[in-house]
Amino acid sequence: MVGQGQRLSAARNDHLTPYLALSRARALSYDAAADTSRYLLSGNLALYQQDFTGKSAQLAEVAGQLDADGQVRERWLGYQRDHQRVVALAGSGRTRAAVDVVTGIRRGDAAFDLSYFDAAVGAAATARKAGFDAALRDGDRLLTGWPLIPLPALGIVMLLVLLGIRARLAEYR
């Protein structure tokens, strides 16, 4: 039982917690990407630029902590470059070109690079989830047979109690 508890704690720390962090990062990336579009639609309100900057810093930090091969972080930085390009185009009055960058589906366009980032996060999250699922299966295997032990143990205890009080019961005959 103690071994199973330790394995499940390790599985939580090594796999489940990073999986949840990656899921939150994924949601945060969607919100940050929406800030890019909101920036364009709002007439370049600085609020959306500030929101994007804060979310982007959080994403870079999470990616740096959870991404062993650096792929997630690198792909987010690619989207970040797209965002900066959109802001520069919008700032120079080239709104149409900025919209093309946001909605384009070629490499180097924001929609493509966000999808590319999302695929990397999804792969990392899937790997963490698979690790957690495997640890749960291992924990289940450790408990195989445990549900059968209490019933015979209870029977033995009842038999011993009856044998122990037999002498007392004989006094009442």
pLDDT digits (tens, 9 = 90+) for 85-105: 999 999 999 999 999 999 999
Q: Report the candidate in 14, 55, 62, 20 with the shortest Cα–Cα distance to residue 34.
A: 55
Q: Report the candidate in 45, 79, 42 with the shortest Cα–Cα distance to residue 63.
A: 79
pLDDT digits (tens, 9 = 90+) for 36-88: 999 988 886 888 999 999 999 999 888 888 877 888 999 999 999 999 999 99
Note the pTM of the prediction, 2 decimals: 0.76
